[in-house]
């Protein structure tokens, strides 16, 4: 019996149930993944006990020599992986990574340009209820109505009109490769700084399969847990010239002690992403997304921009008489996990939008390939076309539980 099971059976039971859910179902949330057993182990260590305010070699607490080693490794590996001069690996999340850049380069009330949440941006790209929309004047660009690609003419027009201090590129629900050099060109023209939030596609960048924003941006923010497949957390990359200001903003500006166990998980994840196998993994994520997208389109769903060239797709479910909320709930009953999502120019509301967002990073980690994606696509279509038939969802749930039994989950099943 584990220590947790013995001391707190309620929490232990909930965790066991979640282990079962992660193992038995099809995890298609585009921002989720399964970390390796090594990342999981590092994140579950006694490093959680340690306070280490400050940075390696300059801490406000004693006893930080081993934490220094871990954080230095994480910083060094992040820099090697992405070709950056400086990395801050302490932000607790992607939101805090973004906050740290805004607080470094923007004064309250200043203007920045970022992607509209309704077109695929993130909460921290200036949503009106978020700090990023309350503290600053966020101006939004979006995608074109005809092809759902970023409208660079509009980005340039807004940049010339509003003269923002900062331009933010990057998205949470955009199925196409983002042209970072184009953003850099516009930023240079209007004298703005460029920040790229690569949280979703960081793993593809690490693998050399998406153009690298570090080459053209002043700041690059990310999470470590999406396509990069590390522990839940954030980090920021920048040039050496910005290092002091950024570090001062993260600590003491907006955080106290780093989460040392998570920093250890990040170090392991950056090391894993440097291995040749990671490139193969990232290539398979993209291939799988393409095959799944083709399967869904052939089955009658409309995808934003018509398809995908990264790890995710946005499917409009209204042509088959559903809403995103109904689709999410119905798929959930069948053991298929996705999230409802606005599609560009959505006429519906965020809590019951027209679409669902689907990603292949997690299933690819389990070793699924193109044929499996065709099967997954067929299940999605079958369930969505029979929302009123509880028996279909029930049967598919059973089929999926049997199917997923053949694919191990790192950290849950033995490799």
For ligand DSN, the closer CB: 81 or 117: 117
Catalytic residue among 226, 290, 340, 397: 226
Site for ligand DSN in 14-33 (CB under 6 A): 31
Q: Which residue's CB comes closest to ligand DSN?
A: 31
Q: Please, what is the minimum distance in Å from the beta carbon of residue 228 to ligand DSN?
A: 13
Q: Dihedrals φ, ψ of 285, to 5°?
A: -60, -45
Q: At what angle do helices 9-24 and 390-404 cross, to 10 degrees?
A: 90
For ligand DSN, the closer CB: 54 or 121: 121
The 3-state DSSP class for residue 126 equals coil
Q: Please, what is the minimum distance in Å from the beta carbon of residue 130 to ligand DSN?
A: 11
97 in Cβ contact with 253 (< 8 Å): no
Site for ligand DSN in 367-386 (CB under 6 A): none
For ligand DSN, the closer CB: 172 or 288: 172
Q: Please, what is the minimum distance in Å from the beta carbon of residue 106 to ligand DSN?
A: 20
- Residue 239 annotated to the active site: no
Considering only 100, 104, 172, 330, the residue that binds ligand DSN (CB under 6 A) is 172
104 in Cβ contact with 249 (< 8 Å): yes
Catalytic residue among 232, 266, 340, 357: 232
- Residue 309 annotated to the active site: no
Catalytic residue among 24, 32, 41, 51: 51
For ligand DSN, the closer CB: 132 or 172: 172
For ligand DSN, the closer CB: 52 or 195: 195
Q: Please, what is the minimum distance in Å from the beta carbon of residue 30 to ligand DSN?
A: 6
For ligand DSN, the closer CB: 30 or 184: 30
The partner residues of 272 in beta bridges, in order of sequence, read none
Interface with ligand DSN (CB under 6 A), residue total 4
- Residue 232 annotated to the active site: yes
Site for ligand DSN in 148-167 (CB under 6 A): none
Q: Please, what is the minimum distance in Å from the beta carbon of residue 31 to ligand DSN?
A: 3
Strands of 312-316's sheet in order across: 302-303, 312-316, 355-359, 339-341
Omega before 415 cis (within 30°)?
no
Report the distance separating Cα 341 and Cα 357, nearest Å: 6
Decide: is 94 part of the binding site for ligand DSN (CB under 6 A).
yes
Site for ligand DSN in 173-192 (CB under 6 A): none
Please provide the distance, in angstroms rounded to a whole number, between the alpha carbons at the two ends of the chain.
22
Q: Is the dihedral of CA 49, 55, 60, 64 positive or negative?
A: positive
- Residue 218 annotated to the active site: no
193: left (phi over 0), alpha (psi -120 to 50) or beta: beta
Residues in Cβ contact with 261 at an 8 Å cutoff, skipping those fewer than 6 apart: 42, 43, 44, 45, 46, 47, 48
Decide: is 98 part of the binding site for ligand DSN (CB under 6 A).
no
Considering only 50, 59, 77, 122, the residue that binds ligand DSN (CB under 6 A) is 122
Decide: is 213 part of the binding site for ligand DSN (CB under 6 A).
no
Q: Please, what is the minimum distance in Å from the beta carbon of residue 92 to ligand DSN?
A: 13
For ligand DSN, the closer CB: 47 or 97: 97
Q: Please, what is the minimum distance in Å from the beta carbon of residue 94 to ligand DSN?
A: 5
- Residue 53 annotated to the active site: yes
Q: Please, what is the minimum distance in Å from the beta carbon of residue 199 to ligand DSN?
A: 6
Catalytic residue among 71, 116, 197, 316: 197
Q: Is the dihedral of CA 197, 203, 206, 209 positive or negative?
A: negative
In the complex, the residues that contact ligand DSN under the rule CB under 6 A are 31, 94, 122, 172
- Residues labelled catalytic: 51, 53, 197, 223, 226, 232
């Amino acid at each position: 019996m584990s220590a947790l099971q013995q001391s707190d059976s309620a929490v232990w039971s909930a965790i066991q149930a979640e282990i079962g859910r992660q193992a038995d179902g099809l995890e298609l949330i585009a921002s989720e993944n399964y970390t390796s057993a090594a990342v999981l182990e590092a994140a579950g260590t006694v490093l959680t006990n340690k306070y280490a305010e400050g940075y390696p070699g300059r801490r406000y607490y004693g006893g930080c020599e081993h934490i220094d080693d871990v954080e230095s490794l994480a910083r060094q590996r992040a820099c090697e992986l992405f070709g950056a001069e400086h990395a801050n690996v302490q932000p607790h999340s992607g939101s805090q990574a973004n906050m740290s850049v805004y607080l470094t380069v923007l004064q309250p009330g200043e203007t920045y340009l970022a992607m509209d949440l309704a077109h695929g941006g993130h909460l921290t790209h200036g949503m009106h209820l978020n700090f990023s929309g309350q503290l600053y004047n966020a101006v939004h660009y979006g995608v074109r109505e005809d092809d759902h690609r970023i409208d660079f003419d509009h980005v340039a027009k807004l940049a010339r009109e509003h003269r923002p201090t900062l331009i933010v590129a990057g998205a949470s629900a955009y199925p196409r490769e983002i042209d970072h050099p184009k953003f850099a060109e516009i930023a240079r023209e209007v004298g703005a700084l460029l920040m790229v939030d690569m949280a979703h596609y960081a793993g593809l960048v690490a693998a050399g399969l998406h153009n690298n924003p570090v080459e053209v941006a002043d700041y690059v923010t990310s999470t470590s847990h999406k396509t990069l497949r590390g522990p839940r957390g954030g980090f920021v990359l920048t040039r050496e010239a910005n290092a002091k200001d950024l570090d001062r903003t993260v600590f003491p500006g907006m955080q106290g002690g780093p989460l040392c166990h998570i920093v250890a998980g990040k170090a392991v994840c950056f090391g894993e992403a440097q291995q040749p196998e990671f490139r193969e993994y990232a290539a398979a994520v993209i291939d799988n997304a393409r095959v799944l997208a083709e399967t869904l389109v052939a089955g009658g769903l409309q995808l934003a921009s018509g398809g995908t060239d990264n790890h995710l797709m946005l499917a409009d479910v209204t042509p088959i008489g559903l809403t995103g909320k109904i689709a999410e709930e119905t798929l959930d009953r069948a053991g298929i996990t996705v999230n409802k999502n606005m599609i560009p120019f959505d006429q519906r509301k965020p809590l019951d939008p027209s679409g669902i967002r689907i990603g292949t990073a997690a299933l690819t980690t389990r070793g699924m390939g193109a044929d499996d994606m065709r099967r997954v696509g067929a299940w999605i279509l079958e369930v969505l076309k029979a929302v009123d038939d509880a028996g279909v969802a029930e049967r598919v749930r059973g089929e999926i539980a049997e199917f997923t039994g053949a694919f191990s989950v790192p950290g849950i099943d033995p490799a």
